[in-house]
Structure 1
Amino acid sequence: MEKIMIQDMPKHIGETVKIGAWLANKRSSGKIAFLQLRDGSGFVQGIVVKAEAGEALFAKAKGLTQETSMYVVGEITKDERSTFGCELQVKEIEVIHAAEDFPITPKEHGTEFLMDNRHLWLRSRKQHAIMKIRNEIIRATYNFFNERHFVKVDPPILTGSAPEGTSELFHTKYFDEDAYLSQSGQLYMEAAAMALGKVFSFGPTFRAEKSKTRRHLIEFWMIEPEMAFIEHDESLKVQEEYVAYLVQAVLANCQVELERLGRDLTKLEKIKAPFPRISYDEAIEFLHEKGFDDITWGDDFGAPHETAIAEHYDMPVFITCYPVGIKPFYMQPHPDRDDVVLCADLIAPEGYGEIIGGSERIHDYDLLKQRLAEHKLDEEAYAWYLDLRKQGSVPHSGFGLGLERTVAWISGAEHVRECIPFPRLLNRLYP
């Protein structure tokens, strides 16, 4: 008898198969037991009819506890009422391990309780759906960049310097030297772009930012492309094509998961490039018109400001050309102004905030050296980075997309803590 995964059941209608599964939930009457089965690939309903299964099997089915593991044999039949399209007429149950007092029951639980039990909360339908969407975004990311001939490069996680200063980095000792957990692989990716032309990285980053908002994690994952011979406007085109590609991939391949989450698909279906663009100057003017008198030119935007701008467009929107004083040292100045740089943040709609930050990078040696001095950064620590500007420097651009924020927006999750398997938050390192 063939052993299959739940996700493959629609291909085996009418066949008797064997699956390994856990009991997610159950309900029963005096004559029929309905078993909600899951195996990691999906969920399916198992039906045990007393008159057909017999007393012993029916009693076994009724006695199963939540999250008990088992092998189940049954015939796959069509079920038009189910989004999955089929169900399992159970003929045999072999218990592998009977779970005892599973703590997360089908009722409301507090956030702290669920976070304390994150290792078990992952099994729920909602969390399963979010993780499947996360996986699809990762798969689509590799497809997008591979199709465009980018080379994946893995920058180090332990670094001796920081692209944006060390105030929000985790410090550690690297034998007899100071080291930091990486907050971005960007500087190393610039070196890789000078060797390979178009590159991207995908890995964990760490920021010791003491923030508790729904948009922040201490440890999160970033996709960071860098492109030689690519200027600012060309980079924006890559960014909007990439984000639109991710959304369309999830719509095409995660219909069941989006439906399970109750996501409004109409909001995603209209996400297509190109995206609207406004300058930082225009954004400040817009916010003042909307009554945000708390912000002045030279301030960075907070969550309410980003949300107001995104709601106006109801699409991802680029805010371009921020003031020099609120952006990192490596960003290329605007050709016609000395007070702003060639950069952009991409703001997601529906209040999810910035999902991409990017810029054209300074490629002039003298200017980069000047910027390091202005930011009081140790030139010796950045000697290798400066060296890139002496050995065949070219205009180049790049950006970083935060995976968890993107997952939250596309899935409609309320908080980024639900968008990574084991979140690291300001006051949480367990489990």
Structure 2
Amino acid sequence: MKTTISEVGKYVDQSVTIGAWLANKRSSGKIAFLQLRDGTGFIQGVVVKAEVEEDIFKLAKELTQESSLYVTGKVREDDRAPSGYELTVESVEVIQMAEDYPITPKEHGTEFLMDHRHLWLRSRKQHAIMKIRNEIIRATYEFFNEQGFTKIDPPILTGSSAEGTTNLFHTKYFDEDAYLSQSGQLYMEAAAMAFGKVFSFGPTFRAEKSKTRRHLIEFWMIEPEMAFMDHDESLVLQENYVSFVVQAVLQNCKLELKTLERDTATLEKISAPFPRISYDEAISFLQKEGYEIEWGEDFGAPHETAIAEAHEKPVFITNYPKDIKAFYMKPHPERDDVVLCADLIAPEGYGEIIGGSQRIDDAELMKQRYAEHNLSEDAYKWYLDLRKYGTVPHSGFGLGLERTVAWISGTEHVRETIPFPRLLNRLYP
């Protein structure tokens, strides 16, 4: 019976064949222990000299790291094994004997591992992080599908900026200027006016020369947009979504969290509602804590970490100053100096994972914002049309996938939360 490591529990006390790679091995006289992986998981294969033909045992002792194999053996329950199962090997067929695999069980520097990212992905910890990333994506689709959202795919090549900034990757689009998208939001607003509730999931690009552990040049975002929804209703959706994703990982990635030695006690507390503080309250708190920050300044990593440490759950910071936020954010109804927006700050120093707001729905106010931000009315005519033809109150947000993976998996640097990271000085492999 041919199967995978993740499915061996169905075949206890039966012989199965698994296509696998040798992650590691050790031998103790008359027994060889093969650490096998097949992409679905890891399992130990035990080769007992007295129970197999002589050439099989000799072959098992000669196997090299990352050699590819077909391994046949009997599935045994073993409470000591991480997966709960072990394989008593009966035969081994070599597909290819690997030579001089560069990533050995010894310590390697970060740059070396990043240069060999195409191979580093095979390791237990990197495998666990990617499985958690996959579960977050799966749970995201489940959540929004259950909430009646339609997935819409915005373009990656655009003729203008979503945020009105200069941190864009420029390219030529035949005879026109074009940019790699920094957000699908504006297009998602158009989609929301057609479908009511929509979400996108795709790559975004920021040409920021940043080297922090929270930044990537290319990263993936989940961007929902909702017609007929105000800012407070959007916050409820956001906290329910994040809670759903965290609980899904706790339920479906127990082995991966254990592999990463993640303290799940903090994750188990993540359930809606989340605390909310205003930007004004955040500034006062930071000043009392001794930080030199004035009203009107944006928060940096140390500020966000200090605020997060005062709460057990993710915390919303609401109503930022208009001058430090994007042009499309709706003004607060009682104050003209702040907007209806919020950033969601993850616990444990992982920073902002969501940015969201209620969008301006008044055409005249939007034209005023165009003028204030020196935005071309020609380039943004289509965006203004959304306010001219059946405008409604609407809100949306964007969740950064890699930062969310980093937080939930307990991974220090976002470069390990995406299969092939693009960093300031890294475009290889």
TM superposition score category, shorter chain reference: over 0.9
Unpaired segments ≥5 residues, structure 2: none
Q: What secondary structure, in the 3-state scheme, does the structure 1 residue paired with 2:148 have?
A: coil
Which digits, 9 at most, give the CA deviation of each residue in 1:195-238, with x for residues without a partner? 00000000000000110000000000000000000000000000
1:209-248 to 2 correspondence within 5 Å?
209-248=208-247
Residues 274-311 of structure 1: CA deviation (Å, up to 9, x unaligned):
00000000000000111102x11000000000000000
CA distance in 2, matches of 1:322, 1:421: 34
Amino acid at match of 1:170: F
Equivalent residue, structure 1, for 2:43: 44
Give, in angstroms, the shift of residue 83 of structure 1. 2.2
2:138 is equivalent to residue 139 of structure 1: yes
Q: Give matches, 1:282-361, under 5 Å.
A: 282-293=281-292, 295-361=293-359
Q: Bigger CA drift: 275-284 or 372-381? A: 372-381
Once residues 35 and 288 of structure 2 are traced to their aligned partners in structure 1, the CA distance between those partners, rounded to angstroms, is: 53
Given the superposition, is the C-alpha separation of residues 337 and 166 from structure 1 closer, same or farther in structure 2, using an over 3 Å criterion? closer
User: How much does 1:55 deviate?
Assistant: 2.2
The alignment partner of 1:201 has SS state of strand
2:385 matched residue in structure 1:
387
2-side partners of 1:420 and 1:138: how far apart?
12
**Structure 1 residues 306-354: Cα deviation after superposition (integer angstroms, max 9, x where no partner):** 0000000021000000000000000000000000000000000000000
1:73 partner letter:
T
Kindly provide the amino acid, as one letter, of the partner of residue 334 in structure 2: D
Q: What's the CA shift for 1:10?
A: 1.0
Tell me what 2:374 maps to: 376
State the match for 1:424 in structure 2: 422
Question: Per-residue CA shift, 1:233-273, capped at 9, x if unaligned?
Answer: 00000000000000000000000000000000101000000
Matched, 1:119 2:111: no
Cα separation, 2, equivalents of 1:61 and 1:181: 50
Matches of 2:51 and 2:38 in 1, distance apart? 25
SS at match of 2:93: strand
Q: Which residue of 2 aligns with 1:411?
A: 409
Q: How far did 1:11 drift? A: 1.3
- Give the aligned residue type for 1:147: E
Kindly provide the amino acid, as one letter, of the partner of residue 108 in structure 1.
Answer: E
Normalised by the size of structure 2, how large is the TM-score? 0.99
Q: Secondary structure at the residue paired with 1:340? A: strand
- Letter of the structure 2 residue corresponding to residue 289 of structure 1: K
Aligned length: 429
Aligned-partner residue type, residue 384 of structure 1: W
Equivalent position amino acid for 1:55 in 2: E
Q: Does the aligned pair in 1 maintain the 2:151–2:199 contact within 8 Å?
A: yes
* Offset of residue 58 of structure 1: 1.0
Give the whole-Å Cα distance in 2 for the aligned partners of 1:81 and 1:200.
Answer: 43
Please list the CA deviations of residues 389-416 of structure 1 after superposition, one character each: whole Å capped at 9, or x if unmatched: 0000000000000000000000000100
Alpha-carbon deviation of 1:54? 3.2
Matches within 5 A, 1:148-297: 148-293=147-292, 295-297=293-295
**1:141, CA displacement in angstroms?**
0.2
Whole-angstrom CA distance in 2 between matches of 1:132 and 1:44:
16
Residue 51 of structure 2 aligns to a residue whose secondary structure is helix
Post-superposition offset of 1:38: 0.2
What is the rounded CA distance, in whole Å, between the counterparts of 1:315 and 1:237 in structure 2?
Answer: 14
In structure 1, how many angstroms separate the alpha carbons of the residues matched to 2:120 and 2:183? 30
Matching residue of 1:362? 360
Secondary structure of 1:134 counterpart: helix
Corresponding letter in the other structure for 1:77: R
Q: Deviations over 1:162-206 (max 9, x none)?
A: 111241010000000000000000000000000000000000000
User: What residue identity is the alignment partner of 2:21?
Assistant: W
Partners of 2:214 and 2:403 within 8 A in 1: yes
Q: 2:164·2:327 contact (CA, 8 Å) conserved in 1?
A: no
Cross-structure match for 1:402: 400
Which residue is 1:34 aligned to?
A: 33
Amino acid at match of 2:395: S
AA of the residue aligned to 2:400: G
**Aligned-residue offset at 1:119:** 0.1
SS state at 2:344 partner = strand
The code of the aligned residue for 2:242 comes to V
Counterpart Cα distance in 1 of 2:377 and 2:346: 36
For 1:347, give the aligned amino acid: I
Q: Which amino acid aligns with 2:329?
A: M
Q: Give TM-score scaled by structure 1 length.
A: 0.99
Stretch moving more, 217-226 or 51-60: 51-60
Paired position in structure 1 for 2:86: 87
For 1:16, the equivalent position in structure 2 comes to 15
Unaligned runs of 5+ in 1: none
SS in 2 for 1:430: coil
Deviates more, 1:382-391 or 1:160-169: 160-169
* SS in structure 2 at match of 1:313: coil
SS of the residue corresponding to residue 126 of structure 2 reads helix
What SS is found at the alignment partner of 2:172? strand
Structure 1 segments, 4+ long, off by >6 Å, are: none
| 3-state SS, counterpart of residue 405 of structure 2 | helix
Equivalent-residue separation in structure 1 for 2:81 and 2:28 (angstroms):
20
Q: Distance in 1 between matches of 2:187 and 2:3?
A: 44
> For 1:363 and 1:129, how far apart are their aligned partners in 2?
43
Corresponding residue for 1:76? Answer: 75
Secondary structure, counterpart of 1:33 in structure 2: strand
**Separation of aligned partners in 2, 1:82 and 1:30:** 21
